[in-house]
C-alpha cells in the first residue's frame, strides 16, 4: 500500500492529499529515509512523522487490505513507538533567526 494511502487509512492524516504534500515536502521518513508519497509499505517498516505540531514514530505491524479500518482495530496494524507534542521552545530558533 502506498504511504499516503496508508497514513489516511490509519487516521494518521485527515486527507490523502495532506499526506501526499507532507511526504513530498520531506516531513515523513520510512526506515530513516525521506519517503515519497508513492513509497510502498510493508510489515516492519518504521514511519516517522515530523509535523509542525508533533513528532510521531510508528511501526507498521501489517498492511490493511481494506480502504477503511475501524479505530478499535488500529492497534492490529500500527504500534506507536514515540510521540511528542512540539512546544513553543521548539520554535524559538525560528524566532531568533527572524530578529537578525
User: Nearest 5 degrees, angle CA 63-CA 64-CA 69?
Assistant: 135
What's the whole-number mean pLDDT along residues 81-96? Answer: 73
Query: For the domain bounded by 3-99, which CATH number is listed?
Result: 3.10.290.10
The residue ranges of every structural domain in the chain are: 3-99
pLDDT of 97 above 90: no
Nearest to 57 by CA among 66, 67, 46: 46
pLDDT in tens, 30-87: 999 999 999 999 999 999 999 888 899 999 999 998 888 889 999 999 999 999 987 7
pLDDT at residue 52 in the model? 83
What's the whole-number mean pLDDT along residues 11-40? Answer: 92
pLDDT at residue 40 in the model? 95
Amino acid at each position: 500500500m502506498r504511504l499516503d494511502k496508508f497514513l489516511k487509512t490509519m487516521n494518521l492524516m485527515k486527507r490523502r492529499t495532506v499526506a501526499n504534500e507532507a511526504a513530498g515536502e520531506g516531513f515523513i521518513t520510512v526506515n530513516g529515509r525521506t519517503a515519497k508519497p508513492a513509497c510502498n509499505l510493508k510489515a516492519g517498516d518504521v514511519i516517522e512523522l515530523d509535523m509542525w505540531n508533533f513528532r510521531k514514530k510508528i511501526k507498521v505491524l501489517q498492511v490493511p487490505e481494506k480502504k477503511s479500518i475501524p479505530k478499535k482495530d488500529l492497534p492490529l496494524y500500527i504500534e506507536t513507538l514515540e510521540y511528542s507534542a512540539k512546544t513553543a521552545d521548539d520554535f524559538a530558533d525560528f524566532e531568533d533567526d527572524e530578529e537578525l
